[in-house]
Amino acid sequence: MNAAVKPFDRLQDQVLKRGRSEIYELSEKKNEFIVLGDWEFWSARVQMNFVVPTWFITDLASIPQAVRSFISVNERHRIPAILHDYLYALNGVGLNHYPRKVLDLIFLDFCKLYGVPVIKRHAMYQAVRIFGGSRYNDNDGRFFAPMDDRKWYLENLDWTPPKIIADLVI
């Protein structure tokens, strides 16, 4: 059976390859996640392809406690946050030196793609515009899991997707 191929449209934001992220169990910090399979994104805004590689560490959108009643940490913005955190980690290097505002607009674009309601996505966009500068300019330089942690994950990951049975007869 042939899989349907979605046509590529340079004018639309798209996730070209769906990766995987899980709780970063070995982290000393709370609420960190580790990318365990590459994500690939196409941004229509900048006409660029971005690959968030395996072993990247993300917090999947830091949501201040004060606004968690309005914006939960476990909503549709989490996948756009993977890309946004990666773009911030790069500090614009290799991105034709786009200003932080453009990176924040890419986050807004992908929130729209993922169906984040208009008011919430614009509130999150404003939050990253106002407060994101501290994360953009001040990081601890730790973007990827250390080699020992990678080895631990490779030894302890025993997950494979379940097989899909097309014509199950009972």
pTM of the model: 0.79
**pLDDT on residue 34:** 92
Which of 42-46, 50-54, 56-60, 155-159 is the least confident region? 155-159
- The yes-or-no verdict on residue 161 having pLDDT over 70 is no
How far from the centroid of its chain's Cα atoms is residue 42's Cα?
13
DSSP letter string, 60-71: S----GGGTTTS
Nearest CA to 37 out of 15, 58, 17 is that of 17
Let me know the angle formed at the C-alpha of 8 by 7 and 14, rounded to the nearest 5 degrees: 115
Q: Mean pLDDT throughout 16-20?
A: 91
pLDDT of residue 14: 92
- Which pLDDT score is estimated for 62? 62
| Mean pLDDT, range 24-47, rounded to an integer | 90
169 vs 108, residue with greater confidence: 108
- The distance from CA 153 to its chain's CA centroid, rounded to whole angstroms, is 20
CA distance 88 to 76: 19
* DSSP code at position 6: P
Report the distance separating Cα 75 and Cα 59, nearest Å. Answer: 13
Give the count of alpha carbons within 13 A of 140, CB side only.
7
- Reported confidence tier of residue 66, pLDDT bands at 50, 70, 90: low
Closest CA to 27 of 160, 142, 162: 142
Coil, strand, or helix at residue 31? coil
The pLDDT of residue 137: 54
Say what the pLDDT of residue 3 is.
54
* Residue reference for tokens 């932080």: 100
Q: Which amino acid is at 161?
A: P
Task: Give residue-wise pLDDT tens across range 94-145.
Answer: 566 788 899 999 999 999 999 999 998 898 888 888 877 666 555 556 688 9
Percent of the chain with pLDDT over 90: 33
The residue type of 137 is N
Q: Which helix (H) or strand (E) holds 88?
A: helix 78-90
